[in-house]
Structure 1
Amino acid sequence: MTVQGERTRAELWNLLAERPGQNKRQLLAGLRLRGLSVESAREVNRTLYRSSNLFVHDGATPPRWHLTSGSRSAGLSISTTVGPALPRCYRGREPRAWQLEALIEWRARGRCGVVEAVTGTGKTAVGVLAAAAALDAGEKVLVLVPGRELLDQWYEVLRRDLRNTRVGRVGDGHRDSFDHYPILVAVVHSAARRQMLTWGTPGLLVADEVHRYGAPSFALALEPEFDARLGLTATYERSDDGLAEHLDPYFGGMVAGCGYQRGLEDGILAPFRVAFLGVDFTSDERRRHDEYDERAKVLRRRLIEVHGCPEEPFGEFMAHVNRLREGSHGDHWAVRDARGYLNAFSKRRQLLADCRPKQEALSSLTSVLAAAGRGLVFSETKASAEQAAAVLIGSGIRARPFTSGLRRADRKDRLAAFKDGNVRVLTAPRVLDEGVDVPQAEVGVILAGSRSRRQMIQRMGRVIRPKADRRPAAFIVMYVTGTAEDPAQGAHEAFLGDLTHVAEKIDHFDPGTAGSELLGWYYEGRTEVR
């Protein structure tokens, strides 16, 4: 064995002596932090399997490695010349392999970049570790968040994970500053209205849900005074030009992250199954939908061809339409067409969200939700969330709506009741998509399919955290046949592309599928894991 190979084997011994049960990717990250130029996890695997007198695995997928009893007693540990891997002020959990790899690449790129990680894999910890290292170096740290829910969550996490560090807040009634706090958590609206960092002061900006800050008003909070910049998101995409115009120039593009495949390989995401469940409109609903749909299509063409709205991306088209609606340009026909399009678009979307057959299909899923323990039902509107809760309650399921209209204390109470099992299902519109720390759920049901890949990924991330018994999560997407929601019409194309190679199974169920068949599908997944 070469000198490099001997060093690799010895350092693997040290890593497993310090923390048994690591998989190949975690060990690879540990070796790199200790200064070894190991190319891949495959090289780590070769060393482990060739040294069966030293290392043994538990047979899991992926295998978790331990020292053999003989090698533990032999005492092969060697001293390392590499300093401590974690910042001095950090006292959080041991980082995952992908988190360390992301930080290594981010540092190598001059401490600039965006980390994209599937919801539930721990992107917040990447930000906390980067912040801790910056604080150790005497820098100021600003954490940008989109709203007060994340303001509270980041504040609590930083107070918990940073030793002897005072954490300030800006927004939601708080007006702290770097004059008295080395680290601030700020709501983006508030940060965009003031100068946060003095020129010449070294600082790190951590932007959580960074995709949100591609809007021109939010981009004002991305101060050039911060030399170090870290963006965090589950999906680094927008429906407008915000990435190219604001985010990429500021952060410098993406660095290593954690997708579905990596999360499954490392055991930090639960395996999952996906079902697409079709429903048919009633005859009256179909007639109204087709009227709204045709009117929206005609007006969209006119807005593009006559009034100069960009055809793509869709977010830019909608931004232009909304500006035309205001009428400041004095073009009466443009105002009429813009308002007519938005009216037809809104009515079509509401009809898809609130149609009666979806509520009837939800009733057929009550046996699945009852068997699952805890479930989440995602709707498009507050009214459909409340109606869904009523349907489930009528079927004996302890369900509650979770909407933006609730007071903050009531929202906390409902999340606590969901966590301890007093509430079995939460029904919610977009309020649960991001920014809320939701307790573990086993089943997710989408009543209104979104054309946004980001929204679908965020919602799925709410149910694919690992389960205690390692059973797969279940994700059920409802859609109205023959509409923009229908996969046969091209709906969810990007989302399905993400799932094809990582989902345990993707099934399609026709309208009228019996609840017993859906329950059998759910139990099939639970049986296979055993």
Structure 2
Amino acid sequence: MSAEPGLTGRQYANKAKAAFPDVTRKDVNRCLYSSALFHTPGSEIPAWHVTANRPRARPADVIQPPEPQHPRVGFAERGNSPFPAGYVADAETKRGLSRWQLEAYESWVANDRSGIVEAVTGAGKSRLALAAIKEILTVGGRALVVVPSKALLHQWASLIRTELPNQELGRLGAGHQVFAARITVAVVHTLVRNLARFADVALIVADEVHGYGAPVFATALLSSSFGRLGLTATLERTDDAVDQVLRPYFGKSVYTCNFSTARRDGRIAPARIALLGVPLAEDEREVHDEAVERKRMAKFELTNNYGIEPKDNFFASVSRLAASDEGPASEFARLYLAGRSAESNILANARGKRRLVRKFSNLFKGDHRGLIFCERIAAADEVADMLGQDGVRAKALTSRVPQPLRETYLSQLLTGEIDAVTCATALDQGIDIPDIDTAIIIGSNQQKRQMIQRLGRALRTKRDNRSARIVIAYAMDTWEDPMTNGHRREFVQIAKEAAENLRDFGAEWSPREVFQFLDPESESNARYALSDELPMHTALLA
């Protein structure tokens, strides 16, 4: 290595094998990643160098990265209850609630009108919140709905105008500055600069509440509010803010509505879900395996030699350590994050996944409209172009698209002027598209919430009661593969709860077979199969 610096682990392994035939690439990687004598600048495929006489820090020498400072919130500062003793909500407050919504509302009331409700996308969380808002209005209180985006601001405002047409409605954010209203919908970024205007709010509804654990957004959790209702698909974060910020403020999770419960209540459409395995190309596999090995070795060092706990908030701890300057410990933290990033890039941009979408472009023809969830903007753009070549009217909706044009694309999707929208994460939360019946998910779902949100986009009930058709692609022999990753089986369980019928096709599938599963009553499945000549694990690599 001293004579030929800057080679990859694979290249050094090949040289080592010439002299020692029993040496494997894994042996070489283990040496490279476990010894401080070697280092890499952290490129996607690491180029290795010798670092002579670099000392190894002992665990006692490592200063643990500082914990994030959270604002002080909790029940101690709650405002006085605006409800008279013995108050019971009238029938009008609870009118129109489904079974799960009524159960959740009563659980929230029993918890002194504080708590978090976890409900899958499409189940109707906003309708539950309307009951809480109606109740606070009957006793003369003000209500504040906090949202993370302009799109949700408009969506909530439209819902409130429709359901409570006689109530004064204010909006804050997206060019609106109406403060003194009985009900205000506010974008959190704007709200935190105007908190003094809302000191008398009696009820705060925090939509997508998992996002308000960040220090700057946590200041929007008004200590004076008596009623506190948090809404989310699932309460998870990569840091400790759930326990340090959200639960102290809102209290416990008072109700959970999963897909099974939502399906019981008729809140989501029936669905058929196909899981399809996709192989990585040889060059993708090389980079992927190198990145996984880098992660594994770095994690071993961090957990065994530098005192980083392997569970709980591991990622947050590693991120803080990587941003600090603690010698070898920080370098291992950066190595771990570089490996994680390289692994994610490969899975997000796997060519086989994009080719899979093209195999099923006919899903979006006829009267069917849908979404394709990617993980990167470039992939969303490329998939939209590929679909266009197959006669599908598709648009890429990403963060680079101006908001007015995003709204135009969604409107065209609803009216049938376009057939499909590809996206990265722009549609992961807060967008209600009722008549979408088809979805293909090729982006990695690293969190349960993301999987729930993406499934929920296609599972909303349709005006004509049609079923949803969903394809979920996963890269085989990676952490996405439920056959090799026990954690991913939890994601499969979520899909099973959502589906009327689910089938994991594994690697051996043909488009014709999948179409027949997704739409068994169709008489035109034969024409849908664009390439049945080769087995799919071969065709997708072609």
Q: Compared with structure 1, are the counterparts of its residues 254 and 433 closer, same or farther at alpha carbon in structure 2 (3 Å cutoff)?
A: same
Q: Compared with structure 1, are the counterparts of its residues 373 and 243 closer, same or farther at alpha carbon in structure 2 (3 Å cutoff)?
A: same
| CA distance in 2: counterparts of 1:522 and 1:325, whole angstroms | 45
CA offsets, 1:403-423, max 9 Å, x none? 011111100000001001111
CA offsets, 1:204-225, max 9 Å, x none? 0101111222333322221221
What are structure 2's unaligned runs of at least 5 residues? 1-87, 524-542
Q: Compared with structure 1, are the counterparts of its residues 293 and 359 closer, same or farther at alpha carbon in structure 2 (3 Å cutoff)?
A: same
| CA distance in 2: counterparts of 1:145 and 1:333, whole angstroms | 41
Residue 320 of structure 1, aligned match among 312, 317, 322 = 317
In the alignment, does 2:489 pair up with 1:478?
Answer: no
Partner residue, 1:120: 122
Q: Which moved more, 1:270-279 or 1:257-266?
A: 257-266
Residue 328 of structure 2, aligned match among 333, 348, 354 = 333
- Tell me the amino acid that sits aligned with residue 368 of structure 2: G
- Tell me the amino acid that sits aligned with residue 322 of structure 1: S
1:384-423 counterparts in 2 under 5 A?
384-423=379-418
| CA distance in 1: counterparts of 2:360 and 2:101, whole angstroms | 37
Q: Compared with structure 1, are the counterparts of its residues 257 and 483 closer, same or farther at alpha carbon in structure 2 (3 Å cutoff)?
A: closer
| CA distance in 1: counterparts of 2:495 and 2:398, whole angstroms | 29
- Tell me the amino acid that sits aligned with residue 404 of structure 2: A
Partner residue, 2:520: 524
| CA distance in 1: counterparts of 2:502 and 2:411, whole angstroms | 32
- Tell me the amino acid that sits aligned with residue 111 of structure 2: R
1:61-460 counterparts in 2 under 5 A?
84-87=90-93, 94-177=96-179, 180-196=180-196, 201=200, 203-313=202-312, 316-327=313-324, 330-370=325-365, 373-460=368-455
TM-score, reference length from structure 2: 0.75
Query: Is the contact between residue 144 and residue 201 of structure 2 (CA under 8 Å) also seen in structure 1?
Result: no
Shift of residue 264 of structure 1?
1.8
Shift of residue 299 of structure 1?
1.6
**Does the residue aligned with 2:435 lie in a helix, a strand or coil?**
coil
TM-score, reference length from structure 1: 0.76
Query: Is the contact between residue 208 and residue 231 of structure 1 (CA under 8 Å) also seen in structure 2?
Result: yes
| CA distance in 2: counterparts of 1:434 and 1:218, whole angstroms | 17
- Tell me the amino acid that sits aligned with residue 143 of structure 2: V
Query: Is the contact between residue 434 and residue 460 of structure 2 (CA under 8 Å) also seen in structure 1?
Result: no
Residue 507 of structure 1, aligned match among 492, 503, 507 = 503
**Does the residue aligned with 1:489 lie in a helix, a strand or coil?**
coil
Q: Compared with structure 1, are the counterparts of its residues 361 and 493 closer, same or farther at alpha carbon in structure 2 (3 Å cutoff)?
A: same
Indicate the RMSD between aligned Cα atoms, in angstroms. Answer: 2.4
Q: How many residues align?
A: 435
| CA distance in 1: counterparts of 2:305 and 2:99, whole angstroms | 54
- Tell me the amino acid that sits aligned with residue 501 of structure 2: K
| CA distance in 2: counterparts of 1:497 and 1:526, whole angstroms | 28
Shift of residue 174 of structure 1?
4.0
CA offsets, 1:68-105, max 9 Å, x none? xxxxxxxxxxxxxx995124xx9xx8333332332233
- Tell me the amino acid that sits aligned with residue 279 of structure 1: V
CA offsets, 1:26-84, max 9 Å, x none? xxxxxxxxxxxxxxxxxxxxxxxxxxxxxxxxxxxxxxxxxxxxxxxxxxxxxxxx995
Q: Compared with structure 1, are the counterparts of its residues 351 and 308 closer, same or farther at alpha carbon in structure 2 (3 Å cutoff)?
A: same
| CA distance in 1: counterparts of 2:508 and 2:492, whole angstroms | 23
| CA distance in 2: counterparts of 1:289 and 1:268, whole angstroms | 40
Q: Compared with structure 1, are the counterparts of its residues 157 and 516 closer, same or farther at alpha carbon in structure 2 (3 Å cutoff)?
A: same
CA offsets, 1:260-314, max 9 Å, x none? 223222222111122110111111111111111111221222233344433222x
CA offsets, 1:378-412, max 9 Å, x none? 01110111111112111111111110111111000
- Tell me the amino acid that sits aligned with residue 355 of structure 2: E
In the alignment, does 2:461 pair up with 1:466?
Answer: yes
Partner residue, 2:79: none
- Tell me the amino acid that sits aligned with residue 241 of structure 1: D
| CA distance in 2: counterparts of 1:453 and 1:259, whole angstroms | 12
| CA distance in 1: counterparts of 2:319 and 2:238, whole angstroms | 15
What are structure 1's unaligned runs of at least 5 residues? 1-81
Q: Which moved more, 1:164-173 or 1:222-231?
A: 164-173
**Does the residue aligned with 1:463 lie in a helix, a strand or coil?**
helix
**Does the residue aligned with 1:462 lie in a helix, a strand or coil?**
helix
Partner residue, 1:36: none
| CA distance in 1: counterparts of 2:298 and 2:119, whole angstroms | 38
